[in-house]
Amino acid sequence: MVRVASDQTKDQTGLTGYGAVLFDLDGVLTPTAEVHMRAWAALFTDVLAEHGVDKAYTDADYFEHVDGKPRYDGVRALLASRGITLPEGTPDDPPEAETVCGLGNRKNKTFSDVLARDGVSPYDGSLRLVRQLADAGVPMAVVSSSKNAPDVLATSGLAEFFPVVVHGGVAAERGLPGKPAPDTYEAAADDLGVPHQQSVVVEDATSGVAAGAAGDFGLVVGVDRGVGADALTKAGADVVVGDLAELLAPAGD
C-alpha cells in the first residue's frame, strides 16, 4: 500500500513521467542491507565488549546511527553514542587497527567476505520497476554511501541498467559530503544531465530520505524495509511504499 504524506502535492502518477530516477542500493534494489546489518552487529558487539560498555548494540542502533551513512561516519556516530573516543586513523589502516578507519575497514572486510561467499539477487519488485523504467527510456543512477556498490551491482546483475553510480569512493574523490547532505544525489542527476526538479530519489534510510528532502528534487520516495513509515515521512519522504512493485505504472501507461 502506497502511503502519501498528508501535505503531498507532487505528482505520483508514475515514475516513468519523471526525467530520471536515482536509487539508493542496499535495501532499495538489493537485500544487501541485511548483510550490512549483520556485519555492523558483529563489529560493534565485539567493540563494545572490549570497551566494557554495558549497553548492547541493537538493530535500533543501526537505523539511528549507521544506516545510509558513509562507513566512517557510521563508526563515529555509534562510538559517540556510547561515549567511546578512538583515534581517527587513515583509510589505509588495516582491519585490526583500533581506529575509526580501522573499525570501518574491519566491517567492510566482513561484508565483502559474505558477498563473495553468498552472492546477492535484487528484490523482485525492484527488478520489475528497473526494467519498466529502462523500457520507458528513463535514465537511472545508483547513489550509495558504500564503496562496494559496483561489486553489488555486478553480482546482482543490475549493473547494465545504471550508467551512473555515485558511491562512497566517488564521493570521496569529488569531495562530496555524504548523506544526509543532498550532494551525492545532485551529482548523480547532473551526471545524467537531468535537472534536479525532474529527478526522483528512492531511499530506505532516514539519512538518505533527508538527503533527498534537502535537495530540490521532483519526488522523494521512502521504502520501508524496517525503519518505519513514520520515520521515513518525518525525514521528508513524499511517498512511502513497502516494495518498489507498488510504483509500477499500470500496463499500457
26 in catalytic set: yes
243 in catalytic set: no
Which candidate in 26, 151, 183, 224 is catalytic?
Answer: 26
**CA distances from residue 135 to 13, 53, 85, 140 in whole angstroms, order as listed:** 17, 52, 50, 12
Which candidate in 24, 67, 151, 183 is catalytic?
Answer: 24
Q: What is the pLDDT along the chain (253 residues), one digit of tens a residue?
A: 455 554 444 444 479 999 999 999 999 999 987 888 888 999 999 999 999 999 999 999 998 999 888 889 999 999 999 999 999 999 999 999 999 999 999 998 988 888 888 888 999 999 999 999 999 999 999 999 988 899 999 999 999 999 999 999 999 999 999 999 999 999 999 999 999 999 999 999 999 999 999 999 999 999 999 899 999 999 999 999 999 999 998 865 5
Task: Please report the domains of the chain, with CATH numbers, ordered by start residue.
Answer: 3-31+121-247 (3.40.50.1000), 34-118 (1.10.150)
In the chain, where do the E strands start and end? 3-4, 20-23, 140-143, 164-166, 199-203, 219-223, 239-241
Q: Model pTM?
A: 0.78
